[in-house]
Amino acid sequence: MAKKPTYEELEKRVQELENTASGQKLVEEKLYEKMHFSQTLLQAAPVFFVAINAQGKTIIANETMLDSLGYKQEEIVGKDYLTTFVPEKNREELSKIFYKLIRLNKPTLNENYILTKDGKEILIEWHGRSIFNKKNEFLYFIGLGIDVTERRQAEKELKREREALSMILESTPHGIALVDHGDNYRYLNPYYTKITGYTLEDIPSKEKWFEKAYPDENSRKKAIEAWNKDKNIRSDKVGKHREFKIKCKNGDTKHIEFRTSFQKNQMITVLTDVTLRKESEEMVRDKDRLQGALELSGAVCHEMTQPLMSVLGYFDLMLIDMPVDDLNYSKIGKIQIQLERMSNITKKMMEISRYQTKDYLNGKIIDLAGISISEK
């Protein structure tokens, strides 16, 4: 017969049972808190969450995903995920990803479109992972998704803008150079090389550019002074338009107009070849000078021709009655020669065809011999 427990033993037993129950309750409360925290975190997360079983049925989705797609939980639980959410064009590709998650137990990363309840497509970046039990038996897989629709659209728009900018830079009839804050050349468009002949390898820095483009020391000094002066202006400003003669890679000399825009950490220099314009301007100036010379020579010739002819005529009359051995005869002959020279000068002035000068003393004079038709 079993010994009857004493009162003290019964009381101790009851205390042990109470402690065990209290401990179990505490464990349950902790477990509930963890589950509640996980569910709260899952529902409040700003990313999509979905769990899918081996048959491709939706187990659960969080509120973020449901709100974005326009569904309620009861509308999607137990429904085939692919036919409910995935456009037909993406289903085959996504089926292969599901297979990988179920059979290979490897995490996945992919992007695919999913459908909202009203048929709108949104692009989601999915991070997939499989869940297995202790026996390594597949239970389900989960997907964490980020809505990248706006990001991808922005990236596409940025890409289009870059392509448009690249097309402008590649086709503009101006040379464009990008120079960083340390005066190193970072980019030259094709037309820059077409104008100057220099590539980025030829002029990696400001020093190399000035060395090659301005071999003359005085010209280089003026160009550097202009560069430094413009560089010291405030950011987000445009420097003055500058014109300099530069030496190209092939040895040609060109007139170049420089326009520089200064940003915070870089500057953009635009080169325009104005050589033809300068030559045209010089031709116009030559034409104006020629016109002035023609008008002046015409007036002078008109005023001088008749007096010269009269003087020569009078001398001819004097020589008719003058003996050859007369002392004045030879003197008059010499005067006639000089008068004829003057007559020839007036003829040259009447035949001016272009503007040309020659050095004379400390200045220049019109080169009548070089620009008259008869001398040619």
CB-CB contact of 121 with 157 (8 Å):
no
Q: What is the pLDDT of residues 314-330, one digit of tens each?
A: 777 787 878 888 878 88
CA 138 – CA 132 distance, rounded (Å): 4
Residue 136 pLDDT more than 60? Answer: yes
- Dihedral sign for Cα atoms in the order 200, 202, 203, 209: negative
Return the pLDDT at 203: 92
Strand partners of residue 258 = 242, 271
Cα 17–Cα 18–Cα 23 angle in degrees, nearest 5: 100
Q: What is the pLDDT of residues 24-46, one digit of tens each?
A: 444 444 444 444 445 555 666 78
Whether CATH 1.10.3720.10 fits 172-273 = no
Q: What is the pLDDT of residues 47-97, one digit of tens each?
A: 898 989 889 999 888 888 999 999 998 999 999 999 999 999 889 998 888
Give the rounded percent of residues in the chain with a pLDDT score beyond 70.
74
Mean pLDDT of the chain: 79
**pTM of the complete model:** 0.49
CA 126 – CA 81 distance, rounded (Å): 14
Over range 149-153, report the average pLDDT.
Answer: 88
- Dihedral sign for Cα atoms in the order 280, 281, 284, 289: negative
Cα-based distances in Å from 53 to 30, 56, 84, 276? 28, 5, 15, 76
> With the CA atoms of 212, 214, 217 and 218 taken in that order, what torsion angle do they form, in degrees rounded to the nearest 10?
-170
Same fold, 172-273 and 278-371: no
Return the pLDDT at 44: 62
Task: For the domain made up of 24-152, give the CATH fold.
Answer: Beta-Lactamase (3.30.450)
Q: What is the pLDDT of residues 152-200, one digit of tens each?
A: 889 888 888 888 877 877 878 888 998 888 889 999 999 999 999 999 9
Residue 15 pLDDT more than 70? Answer: no
CA 239 – CA 216 distance, rounded (Å): 24
Q: What is the pLDDT of residues 116-135, one digit of tens each?
A: 999 999 999 999 888 888 88
At residue 23 the predicted structure's pLDDT band, cuts being 50, 70 and 90, is very low
Residue 271: CB partners within 8 Å, gap ≥ 6?
A: 174, 175, 176, 177, 192, 195, 196, 256, 257, 258
Class of domain 278-371: mainly alpha
- Residue 267 class from Cβ within 10 Å (0-12 exposed, 13-18 middle, 19+ buried)? buried
CA 175 – CA 153 distance, rounded (Å): 32
Report domain extents, the chain: 24-152, 172-273, 278-371
- Dihedral sign for Cα atoms in the order 132, 137, 140, 146: positive
